[in-house]
Structure 1
Amino acid sequence: MDSPEITQAVDALRHRLAPGTRVIIGIAGAPGSGKSTFAAWLQGQFSPGASVIVPMDGFHLGNAIIDGTPLRQRKGAIDTFDGGGYLALLRRLVRRDEDVVYAPEFRRTIDEPVAASIAVPADVPLVITEGNYLLAEQGPWKEVRAQLDEVWFLETPPALRLQRLADRHVSFGMDREAAVAWANGPDEANARLIQATRPAAHRIIPWL
């Protein structure tokens, strides 16, 4: 999985970490680019307990909010997330004035966020947060970006990304035709918005 860009990024991150401090790294990219996989890989480059992954997906609006509204057909779009809630969490993680901060987690098996599922103790030096809209400018997202020490943007070949998306949708219950339509429809509309934020990233990370 290593590349010169990844090796350089990880080495620089190691040097950035210092005793008694915290670094919050954002991993951005289009749907299907492999953000969750990369975040887990990055966590594995550090000693156990040295980092926690806090996904933006924990701030999906609940189905009780979006069912019966136009948002249901655009789930995953920027306005189907609680950006203000995500910003508030990141500010708490930056302050480090609580013994433990609890973050929500999105569980695809039930298609819902679950509150207080991830514990982030105050002494954890590295927080890795990953999500689609970390570099977006609208609403609270510009302030989200301000909480992050760096944001890395994952670059994944479009055909591979679309295939992964369709396969993921199938694995969680969609039939193949609907999965391909969703990947090429709502997911791809989101991808275009996210791709436009790429120039604001600190690093571009090639990722398969």
Structure 2
Amino acid sequence: MICTTNKAIAEVVAHLRQHASEADDRQIIGIVGAPGTGKSTVAHLVAECLGADAVVVPMDGFHLANTILDGTPLKDRKGAIDTFDVGGLLSLLKRLRSRDEQVVYAPAYRRGLEEPIAASIAVPQSARVVLTEGNYLLADDGPWAALRGLLDETWFVETPQETRLARLIDRHVAAGMDREAATDWANGPDERNARFVHSTRHRADRTIQWN
């Protein structure tokens, strides 16, 4: 099982379990990486290893909807930092941090539909670990800077560039783009976003090499 056979996953799972054995608080972990690094995969694998104690809450649930983006310059850079509802993300993390509600419902992002879906993820009060993953959790521009204070730890996921680009192109094709357009988007808007994300890497508490 990957919980024990993959060194990177085994290490972070053991780390979270050790903390849970010593304290009864909730840990909120931010998992950061450029588009296509596999941060969602890492988050879900860690949650699977931890079982009912863990829930994944993706930052992508706070994408601005296409009805907001359509007809604006933002449409051509969907996925950039200014195409997210950072205020909504901050409000959710504050609620998860306070842990004073029986359940908090978080939005998810539906690939294929390419839209956020409200109240799709239930985070019960009993959940000891919340794994939130996204590109910009380590950004320190404007309101984004407040995110770091709501996270107990941040992990930065790194993947070889060739692998990352191949994943991105395949993802865009699966969402309906032709391969040429997918390649252009991966090497254009996605790559600009990736460079920004990498500029925040030094703020992370831990780096995970993910191939």
Whole-Å Cα distance in 2 between the matches of residues 20 and 201 of structure 1?
24
1:6: how far off? 4.1
Residue 47 of structure 2: aligned partner: 43
Whole-Å Cα distance in 2 between the matches of residues 112 and 139 of structure 1?
25
Tell me the secondary structure at the aligned position of residue 76 of structure 1. coil
CA-atom RMSD, angstroms?
Answer: 1.3
Unaligned stretches of 5+ in structure 2?
A: none
1:140 paired to 2:153: no
Mapped contact 2:56–2:131 kept (Cα < 8 A): yes
1:17 aligned residue (16, 20, 26) = 20
1:14-72: CA deviation from partner (whole Å, max 9, x where unpaired): 1112463210111100000001111111112113x111100000000011111000000
1:59 paired to 2:62: yes
Which residue identity lines up with residue 152 of structure 1 in the other structure? W
Tell me the secondary structure at the aligned position of residue 17 of structure 1. helix
Whole-Å Cα distance in 2 between the matches of residues 25 and 75 of structure 1?
25
Q: TM-score under structure 1 normalisation?
A: 0.96
Whole-Å Cα distance in 2 between the matches of residues 35 and 154 of structure 1?
6
Whole-Å Cα distance in 2 between the matches of residues 17 and 148 of structure 1?
16
Aligned-residue sequence identity (percent) comes to 58
Mapped contact 1:83–1:140 kept (Cα < 8 A): yes
Unaligned stretches of 5+ in structure 1?
A: none
1:28 paired to 2:26: no
Between stretches 100-109 and 14-23, larger displacement belongs to 14-23
Whole-Å Cα distance in 2 between the matches of residues 106 and 37 of structure 1?
14
1:156 paired to 2:159: yes
Residue 103 of structure 1: aligned partner: 106
Whole-Å Cα distance in 2 between the matches of residues 98 and 7 of structure 1?
31
1:76-104: CA deviation from partner (whole Å, max 9, x where unpaired): 00000001110110000000111111100
Which residue identity lines up with residue 7 of structure 1 in the other structure? A
Say how many residue pairs are matched.
207
Residue 115 of structure 1: aligned partner: 118
1:128: how far off? 0.7
Mapped contact 1:20–1:123 kept (Cα < 8 A): no
Are residues 112 and 5 of structure 1, via their aligned partners in 2, closer, same or farther at CA, if it must alter by over 3 Å?
Answer: closer
